[in-house]
Amino acid sequence: MSIDYNQRIPNNVDLAGDRALQRALEHWQPRFLDWWKELGPSDFAAADVYLRTAVGVDAAGWASYGRVRMPDYRWGIFLADAASDRHIGFGDHLGEPVWQQVPGEYRSPLRRLIVTQGDTEPASVEQQRMLGHCAPSLYDLRNLFQINVEEGRHLWAMVYLLHAYFGRDGREEAEELLERHSGDPDKPRILGTFNEPITDWLSLFMFTYFTDRDGKYQLKSLAESAFDPLARTTQFMLTEEAHHMFVGETGLARVLKRTLEVMTAQGSDDPARVRGAGAIDLPTFQRYLNFWFSSSLDLFGSEVSSNAASSFASGLKGRPDEAQYTDHRCVDASYELAMPDAGGTRVEHVLMRNAMNEVLRTAYVRDCELGLKRWNRLLERSGFDVRVTLPSARFNRAIGVWSAVRCDPSGAQLSAKEFERRKDEWLPSASDRAFVHGLMQRVVVPGRMAAWIAPPERGINNLAIDYEYVHLA
């Protein structure tokens, strides 16, 4: 079904055919807009932004570009086309037809998954709301706003499911998605990373590389869901997600490129001299990476989780690309897990179903490594010996078995006191943050870049890099 843009809420779910649902969502719409005005991008409401909007869910329609003011963006409900004759691909219901309604016994865990997913979307917009004021270029400013409007749409995607399939509870949850706020001491967002402040662009690029990538893995596992409307909506969200991770990967590559230019010109990788030239030194880059990677690892939940086991068993949440596996039930399969034990480790065999969070996390780590390989090729070519690395998954964890002990980035355990003493070597210190903040100067001349970042290799949608991607009012 094509997207109907003549409706107040653009959609491809025949919203007009269900008056009660349409009214309920039209009632929620002004609340969303109020939230956007209050907690979306600070200022810039009058700016014309070169944005991508979906006009169809197929390859031809999902990326249509034009100039839009953000408050006029057409947030809507877009589901990937239904696959005919889709069957459940994993768990106890393997091979049964997928569900178009929520089975009563799974209502509450399914709602919890949808609410948790939905909560992250507006959280990220809240986290990023001040960044427009210190964007390193108009190109980057546009990318930030593109991500922000799409995360707003991802909230719509989950709110649609809550309204359409969860009755009164769903409507209440939809209200609460606008009432919790990132970093709010009384009503914080659900997951840890989404309460961390993002007030500089190095953090934004780390977040879009590492945290949006958690989004990719979670969405991919929800795209396998037996609940077909959830599978279809997350499938379409994944097409938008690719750009968010692109911004992270290329943003970080551009930071490194600029740093390497400075290091080459000076013939030295001395952090103080790199900083003196207005670029981000590699140790600081590595500490930001350590922070956002370890925080994002927590988003997968505990290594051993009965929630994860029942989500898999009941067909609510599968594994990314479930078709790659041969055993889709995982009834007897086990998983070897290294646990901390008296300063060392011991291996425990746990049921595969209970280890699903760890299965996802491991796939995620492998995906994260690809970017590091590319960045390290830049470092290699520059002739310097330094490399960037992913810290051990045991480092700086707040969730799961490794949260009980302190480890250094190599994974070696140390005392809490020792960790405290050395943590500024491994995580951004107050002075790192002050330095990075000091670099964040706004650049608004088309084609110009802040001194700490190299220009992108190409513009958006084949436009020039010096195209005026945002026309400031």
Site residues for Fe ion per CB under 5 A? 121, 151, 154, 212, 215, 241, 244
**C-alpha atoms less than 13 angstroms from C-alpha of 56 in its C-beta half-sphere:** 6
- DSSP letters spanning 152-200: HHHHHHHHHHHHHHSHHHHHHHHHHTTTS-TT-SSS--SSGGGGS---S
CA distance 75 to 52: 12
CA distance 290 to 391: 6
Residue 13 or 113: the one with the smaller Cβ distance to ligand BYC is 113
User: What token pair was written down for 363?
Assistant: 């796939």
Q: Is 62 in the site for ligand BYC (CB under 6 A)?
A: no
Query: Which residue minimizes CB distance to ligand BYC?
Result: 301
Q: Is 214 in the site for ligand BYC (CB under 6 A)?
A: yes
CA distance 302 to 300: 7
Residue 365 or 414: the one with the smaller Cβ distance to ligand BYC is 365
Nearest CA to 85 out of 70, 97, 76, 73 is that of: 97
Q: Residue 87 pairs with which residues in a beta bridge?
A: 97
Q: Which residues of 353-384 are buried (b: 16+ CB within 10 A; e: fewer)?
A: bbbbbbbbbebbeeebeebbeebeeebeebeb
Q: For 471, phi and psi rounded to 5 degrees? A: -95, 110
Which of ligand BYC, Fe ion, none interacts with 399 (beta carbon under 5 to 8 A by kind)? ligand BYC
Which of ligand BYC, Fe ion, none interacts with 345 (beta carbon under 5 to 8 A by kind)? none
441, 453 contact by CB (below 8 A):
no
CA distance 211 to 293: 8
Q: Is 345 in the site for ligand BYC (CB under 6 A)?
A: no
Q: Is 211 in the site for ligand BYC (CB under 6 A)?
A: yes
For the sheet containing 48-53, what is the strand order? 64-69, 48-53, 470-471
Nearest distance from C-beta of residue 119 to ligand BYC, angstroms: 8
* Interacting residues with ligand BYC between 103 and 142 (CB under 6 A): 113, 116-117, 120-121, 124
* Interacting residues with ligand BYC between 176 and 205 (CB under 6 A): 191-192
CA distance 297 to 317: 18
Which of Fe ion, ligand BYC, none interacts with 211 (beta carbon under 5 to 8 A by kind)? ligand BYC
User: What token pair was written down for 399?
Assistant: 């969730």
Nearest distance from C-beta of residue 67 to ligand BYC, angstroms: 25
> Pick from 399, 414, 454, 472: which binds ligand BYC (CB under 6 A)?
399
Residue 242 or 323: the one with the smaller Cβ distance to Fe ion is 242
Site string for ligand BYC, 242-281 (x = CB under 6 A): ----------------------------------------
* Interacting residues with ligand BYC between 288 and 317 (CB under 6 A): 298-302, 305, 307-308, 317
Which of ligand BYC, Fe ion, none interacts with 305 (beta carbon under 5 to 8 A by kind)? ligand BYC
Residue 390 or 443: the one with the smaller Cβ distance to ligand BYC is 390
- Write out the residues near ligand BYC by the rule CB under 6 A: 113, 116-117, 120-121, 124, 151, 191-192, 211-212, 214-215, 218, 298-302, 305, 307-308, 317, 357, 399
